[in-house]
Structure 1
Amino acid sequence: MAPPRHRGRGFSRRIQYGLFFGYVAAAMGVVAGVALVLIARFDPLAFEGIRGLALDATTPVTAVTRPIVRGGGSLAGEIGGYFNAVSENRTLHARLANAQRDLIQARVLAFENARLKRTLHLVGDQTVPIVAARIVGSDLSGTRRFATLAAGTADGVATGQPVRAADGLVGRIAEVGSHAARIILLTDGGSAVPLRVVRTGEAALGEGRGDGALEIHSTTVGGPGFQRGDLLVTSGVGGVYPPDIPVGVVTGTSGEIATARPLAEPAKLDFALVLPQVAAPPPVEAPAGRKH
C-alpha cells in the first residue's frame, strides 16, 4: 500500500510533545512577564524582592564566569602587548643601529678635527712651512729607518730640511727628487739631534738606535741627569732643526744615558710639514798668516 502523499507533523509523537511543551513554556513566559509587569506596577516592594532573588541566583554564575572573561581579556591584551613589543623592539634596534653609525661618524670627525687643530696650531707657532705633504711609505730594514714624502724639488723641498708632524719631530730630508723625498727618521741608526731637557734645561744629544727608540746622552758633566717622563725638545744647536720642537719622552735611565720614545710615531703618521732649515752660523775665519 502506497504511503500517504502528505504526512502531518502529528504523525511523530516526539515532535508533538516538543511542540506542546514549547507552547506551554511560551505561555508560561508570557504569563510570568505579564505578572512581573503587574507586580512592578502595583506592588513595587514585592518586585524589588523578586529582583533580589534573581540577583542572588545569578551571582554564583557571574562569579564563575567573570575570571574566565577577565582571563580572556587579559590574554588578548597580552597577545596584543607581545606584538606591540616586537614592533617597538624592532624600532629600538633600528634606532640603536643608526645611533651607533652616528657615533662612529662623530668619532671620525672628532679625530680629524683634533688633528687639523693640532696642525693649525703647529703652523701658527712656527715659521711658515715650505710644504705640507702626505707620507706615502716607509723603509724599516735593519737599523735604517726611512720614510717617503710625496713632495720634492718642485715643491721647494731640499736636502737637510727638518720634517715634523703635529706630535713632534720626524727627521730630516736625506734625498730629494722632483716630486718625492726621502726622510731619515730620528730613530735611524745614523741620525743625531741636539736636544734639551725641558725640566732642567740640560743639553743632550739624541741618537737613533735603529729599533724605534732614541738613545740620549748628556753633554753636561755632573748635570742633574735624566728622569723617566722627561720631555725632550730640539735645542736649535747645529743649524738644522729649529728650537723647541717636541722630540720624545724618556722611558728609562742608566747613569748619564737614557732611552726615549719619539712622540711622532712614523707608523701612525699621515701628513708631515717640511720646515726651512735653520741658518748655520758663519764659519770662523782663521787668523791671517795661519796656514790650514
Structure 2
Amino acid sequence: MKNSDQSHSYVHFRFGIVIILSLAVMALDVRSKLLNDIRFYLESALYPVLVFADSPHAVGRVVSSQLKTHSELIKENEQLSTENFMQRADSLKLKDLEAENKALRQLLNSPIRTKNKRLFAEVIDVDPDPYLHRVTVNRGASDGVHEGMPVITDKGLVGQVINVNYAFSRVLLLTDPNCSIPVVDERSNVRAISSGSGSHDDIIINNVPRSADIKKGDLLLTSGIGGVYPRGYPVAIVSKVGFSDSQPFAEVKAKPLVDTDKMRFVLMYWTSLENSEDIKSLAKEQTDSKVILHQRKIKDLIKTLSVKDRVVDNSEGQQ
C-alpha cells in the first residue's frame, strides 16, 4: 500500500509540475511573443497533416460537384455568361474613367493611385471555438501574405490577416469581438468604429452620438482611417438604432453583408506600395507631370507675349 501511495503522489507531483510549466510558457508567450517563430515552424511542418485531415471534406466537395445535373450546369453557365457580359461592358466605362482620372490628376499635379495587388484564396478551416470568429485560408508567407492584410469577398469586407505561416494564414473576421474597423455612413458621412459582437448576425457601432444622422438601412463603408482597410468597401447594413436615457450614446447595430458561415473563397489585398520600383515609378510620374505643366506655362507665356507684340506693331503701322 505504501508503494502505491508513493507512486500516486509521484504522479500528482509530476502533473503539478507540468501544469506550472504550461502556465509559465503561456504567460511568456502572451507577454514577450518569444514563441512566434517556434509556432510558425511547427504549424508549417504540420500543414500536410491539416491537408490530410481536410481530404475527406475536399473529396466530398469534388464528388458533389461532379454529381450536378446537366440542366443545372447549363443554367449556371448561362447565368455566368450574362454576368461576364455585363462586367465586360462595365469595364469599358471603367477604363474610360481611369484614363480621365489619370489626366485630371496629372493636370492637378496629384499622385496617381496605383492598382492594388489581389490574391485569391480558399477557406480550408474554421476555428472550432464559438467565441473566436476566425478562419484559415490556403495562402501564406510563400505567396507574399503578411499580417494586417484586409480580406474581402464579392459582397464586402471579411476581416484581416492576423497570423501567417508558410502555406496558410488565419483571418480575424469582422464579427470577432477583437476586431475593430473604422467605418463611415454612405448617406450622411458619419464616421464611427465597428466592433464584433461575437455573433455572426450583428456587429456593434461604438460611440455614436445621439444626435448623429444615422438611420436603419444605411450602408456602412470602410472609411480608410488608420490605413489598414482601404476606403469604400461595404461592411454592413444598419439594422438597429436605439436610445436610452441612461446612455450618452446611441445603441447602433448592423448586419454584416458577408455571411462568414457560408463563404468559401476570399480575396486578400495589398493596400500599400510593396517595393521601391513602384515608388520610383510614382515619383517619376509626378515629376513628369510637373515638367509638362511647366512647359505648358512657358508656351502660354510666349504666345501671350507674341500676341501683344503683334498688336503693338499693327498700331504703330497704322499711325
Q: Structure 1-normalised TM-score? A: 0.54
What is the rounded CA distance, in whole Å, between the counterparts of 2:154 and 2:238 in structure 1? Answer: 19
Give secondary structure in 1 for the equivalent of 2:75.
helix
> Displacement of 1:103 after TM fit?
3.9
Structure 2 residue corresponding to 1:158, chosen from 146, 149, 156: 146
Match of 1:44 in 2: none
Structure 2 residue corresponding to 1:104, chosen from 58, 63, 72: 72
**Contact 2:208/2:252 (8 A) holds in 1:** no
**Contact 2:116/2:271 (8 A) holds in 1:** no
- AA in 2 matched with 1:240: V
Match of 2:205 in 1: 216
Deviations 1:147-193 (A, max 9, x none): 11110011010001111111000000010101100000000011100
Match of 1:77 in 2: none
Structure 2 residue corresponding to 1:146, chosen from 128, 134, 142: 134
> Displacement of 1:222 after TM fit?
2.9
- AA in 2 matched with 1:223: A
1:273 aligns with 2:267: yes
Give secondary structure in 2 for the equivalent of 1:268.
coil
What is the rounded CA distance, in whole Å, between the counterparts of 1:190 and 1:132 in structure 2? Answer: 25
Tell me, which stretches of 5 or more residues in structure 1 are unaligned? 1-99, 280-292
What is the rounded CA distance, in whole Å, between the counterparts of 2:82 and 2:197 in structure 1? Answer: 31
> Displacement of 1:104 after TM fit?
1.9
**Contact 2:179/2:196 (8 A) holds in 1:** yes
Residues 1:192 and 1:148: Cα distance change in structure 2 (over 3 Å): same
Identical amino acids, percent of aligned pairs: 26
Structure 2 residue corresponding to 1:188, chosen from 162, 176, 182: 176
**Contact 2:240/2:253 (8 A) holds in 1:** yes
What is the rounded CA distance, in whole Å, between the counterparts of 1:162 and 1:209 in structure 2? Answer: 19
> Displacement of 1:202 after TM fit?
0.4
What is the rounded CA distance, in whole Å, between the counterparts of 2:172 and 2:223 in structure 1? Answer: 19
1:116-265 equivalences under 5 Å are 127-139=115-127, 141-212=129-200, 213-219=202-208, 222-224=211-213, 226-255=214-243, 256-265=250-259
**Contact 1:242/1:278 (8 A) holds in 2:** no
> Displacement of 1:219 after TM fit?
4.6
Tell me, which stretches of 5 or more residues in structure 2 are unaligned? 1-67, 99-113, 244-249, 274-319
Deviations 1:8-30 (A, max 9, x none): xxxxxxxxxxxxxxxxxxxxxxx
Give secondary structure in 2 for the equivalent of 1:154.
helix
Give secondary structure in 1 for the equivalent of 2:258.
coil
Residues 1:154 and 1:119: Cα distance change in structure 2 (over 3 Å): farther
Deviations 1:30-78 (A, max 9, x none): xxxxxxxxxxxxxxxxxxxxxxxxxxxxxxxxxxxxxxxxxxxxxxxxx
Residues 1:180 and 1:194: Cα distance change in structure 2 (over 3 Å): same
Match of 1:29 in 2: none
Deviations 1:228-281 (A, max 9, x none): 2110000000110000000011111213221111111122222111111458xx
Residues 1:278 and 1:238: Cα distance change in structure 2 (over 3 Å): farther
Greater helix share, 1 or 2? 2
What is the rounded CA distance, in whole Å, between the counterparts of 1:142 and 1:162 in structure 2? Answer: 22
What is the rounded CA distance, in whole Å, between the counterparts of 2:131 and 2:82 in structure 1? Answer: 33
Give secondary structure in 1 for the equivalent of 2:187.
coil
